[in-house]
Amino acid sequence: MPLDVVRTRGLDLDELACLARCNGADVTLHRADGSNLPTWRNALAEGARAEAVIVASYDRSALGQTGSGHFSPVGGFHHERDLTLILDVARFKYPPHWVSAERLWDAMCGIDPTTGSPRGWLTLRPRTRGVGLGFSIRCEGDSWHGLVDRLGRAVAELEASTDVDAAIRAITPLATHLEVRTPSTPAHRDAIDLARSALRGLPIYPRVEASAGPDRADVVTVLLLASEALVGPEQRARVAALVGDIDDDSPLGAELHNVRAQLSALRAPPRDGA
């Protein structure tokens, strides 16, 4: 979502969940109509034990406040009094405050006119596997729906390709949709360098470089390896034969896991609990 659009209309619950996943969190999305009040209280208790971060999406007007849809992280839960501490992200309007857990639940049950679905909450946990720091899917010169269509066509070509070179050609048009992130710290730069060094040492890399060109070889190789989450066993076997084992906990393994998750999320329709 372009930043100028976000500034105008904000984000909906699905978009915030996607943003969190792309930045290294394991995310569970709960719609207020797909859960119940005890489930909500259990989530609040989990957050109070510092086992997860809970972010509530609710209608401010249902709490007697000005405005409508709003996100707030939950800072605490008083079980005996059934109170939730809202760490408001718009403190110029409302400082952190306590509200009844049930009343906040009711404020999440209303329909978001943007999505046509009830609001709810996100449960965020640290990703158990490594976090990808160097590569991320982006929407470049296209809408996300357009990117999904292009991804679907590329996957169909991958499935129909008869050899690895044909698979490389099928995935190359998506190269502009994989961002190579700019390191923000020395540690960030070192992690990306380790991943790229391992990537360029793979047996398949010279074939990708010869086909896609040296400027796009890194991103095309990452996309090709990550696309195994979308294709059948025959294509996976062809690529795996030229790759070998990649440690899931290595910097390169973390990058591939991250991009695979993003590609899979793009291909799958949004669903509650995802």
pLDDT score, position 274: 39
Which range scores top for mean pLDDT: 34-43, 54-63, 133-142?
54-63
Confidence of residue 42 (pLDDT cuts 50, 70, 90): very high
**53-59 and 69-78: which strand pairing?**
antiparallel
Confidence of residue 129 (pLDDT cuts 50, 70, 90): low
**What are the C-alpha distances in Å from 176 to residues 91, 108, 138, 217?**
39, 38, 8, 12
Confidence of residue 85 (pLDDT cuts 50, 70, 90): very high
CATH class for the domain made up of 3-126: alpha beta
Every domain range in the chain assigned CATH 3.90.70.30? 3-126
User: What DSSP designation does 227 have?
Assistant: G
Structure tokens at 83: 């109170």
pLDDT score, position 142: 63
Q: Are 107 and 58 in contact (CB under 8 A)?
A: yes
* pLDDT, averaged across the chain: 85
* Total number of residues shown for the chain: 274
Strand partners, 29: 122
Q: Which of 234, 256, 235, 259 is nearest to 246 (CA)?
A: 256
User: What DSSP designation does 190 have?
Assistant: H
Q: Which residue has the higher pLDDT, 217 or 88?
A: 217
Q: Which helix (H) or strand (E) holds 192?
A: helix 186-200
E-state strands within 161-206: 178-180
pLDDT digits (tens, 9 = 90+) for 177-232: 898 888 888 888 888 899 999 999 999 999 999 999 999 999 999 998 888 767 77
Order of strands across the sheet with 97-100?
25-31, 120-126, 53-59, 69-78, 83-86, 97-100
Confidence of residue 91 (pLDDT cuts 50, 70, 90): confident
